[in-house]
Amino acid sequence: MMAAPTPLITVDAATKTYKLRSRSLRRVNMTALDRISLVINRGETVGLVGESGSGKSTLGRAILHLTDLDSGKIVYNGNEIQSLSESEFRPYRRKLQMVFQNPLTSFNPMMTMESALLDSMRLVSELDLNTKRRRVLQLLDQVELSSRFATLYPYEMSGGQLQRAAIARALAPDPDFIFLDEPTAALDMSIRGQIINLLLRLQRETSVSFIFVSHDLRLIRYIADRVLVMYQGQLVESGDKAQIFDHPQHAYTQKLLSATFVGQAERAQARSRTET
């Protein structure tokens, strides 16, 4: 870790309410973000946990300027970005990237990996096409895919390979920040570690910042420096990793911990003790 962390993204009292209609067609408000404030430092990984509907993805969408806020501020690199129009935001777009849960549905099935990665560099004006082509091969190499993958279509690749390509695509425009929305949830347990180790290495090499969303606290333990816990649109717990794992405060965090492999193994032991 660096000595004095420099803030990359600051979210200040971000609030977002979705207006929905209930079963009886009454208008109801759902507060997805309730005065959320947080800071993401350069080169840092923040683990984000919370049950479905707690506002995790809305937070990611808000930072990436894909959702308007009702109130609050998002500051990236000293610039307030949440109030910008789409064209004003365009210069920042390439600096803020996202990797989704299901790699198969996040690629255009008609595009090869090369065209997908080139497409991601469309807003990178300082490089010419030949340079970008070379960069595609470098990026694939960075995520441990050989150059033959450049000509492959999504259906020709496994889930793990595709998720590597999705990470390469997010890295292509040289971003400062990547929102990783459960990037390993659709992958088999035996290869999740490959993706986690890859992300750890890439971060050392590029000092990109991550928000890593996951239900799996074990992954969070490997990858995150700090952990945030969201519950019903609010930030209910935040702190460094050790603090959250050793002294979980919120009931939801405690439940999450007890549902892990180690938690269940302890439970199984306790049960066999009572049965005998």
Partner 1 sequence: MVLLDIRNLSIDFHVGKDIVHALRDVNMQIKAGSRTAIVGESGSGKSVTSLAVLRLLPTTAHVESGAIDYDGRDLLTLNESELHTVRGRKIAMIFQHAMASLNPLYPVGQQIADIYRHHFGGSKQDAWARAVEVLGETGIPNPEARARDYPYQFSGGMAQRVLIAMALVCKPALLIADEPTSGLDVTIQTQVLDLIERVVAELDATLMLITHDIAVVYATCDRVIVMYAGKVMESGTLDQVFGRSANPYTIELLKCFEETGVDQMPFIPGRVPDMRDTWPGCSFAVRCLFAKEVCHQQEPPVIELEPDHLSACHFARELQTQGVQVAPAADGGEHGEEMSS
Which residues lie near partner 1 (CB under 8 A)? Answer: 23, 51-52, 158-161, 188-194, 196-197, 200, 215, 218-219, 221-222, 252, 255-256, 258-265, 267-268
- To partner 1, the closest distance from the beta carbon of 153 in angstroms equals 16
Tell me how far apart the alpha carbons of residues 269 and 235 are, in angstroms, rounded to a whole number. Answer: 34
| Nearest distance from C-beta of residue 242 to partner 1, angstroms | 12
Whole-number CA gyration radius for the chain: 20
Q: Which is nearer to partner 1, 63 or 157 (CB)?
A: 157
Burial 237-248 (b: 16+ CB within 10 A, else e): bbeebeebeeeb
**Looking at beta carbons only, is 81 or 223 nearer to partner 1?**
223
Q: Is 253 helix (H, G, I), strand (E, B) or coil?
A: helix
Smallest gap from residue 104 Cβ to partner 1 (A): 12
> What is the torsion angle, in degrees rounded to the nearest 10, for the CA atoms of residue 36, residue 214, residue 185 and residue 102?
20
Minimum distance of partner 1 from residue 131's CB (angstroms): 32
CB of 54 to partner 1, least distance (A): 9
C-beta of 143 vs 256, nearer to partner 1: 256
Q: Which is nearer to partner 1, 247 or 255 (CB)?
A: 255
* Closer residue to partner 1 (CB): 54 or 120: 54
Q: How far is CA 248 from CA 4, 8, 9, 95, 264, in A?
A: 27, 27, 26, 33, 17
**CB-based contact 8:42 (threshold 8 Å):** yes
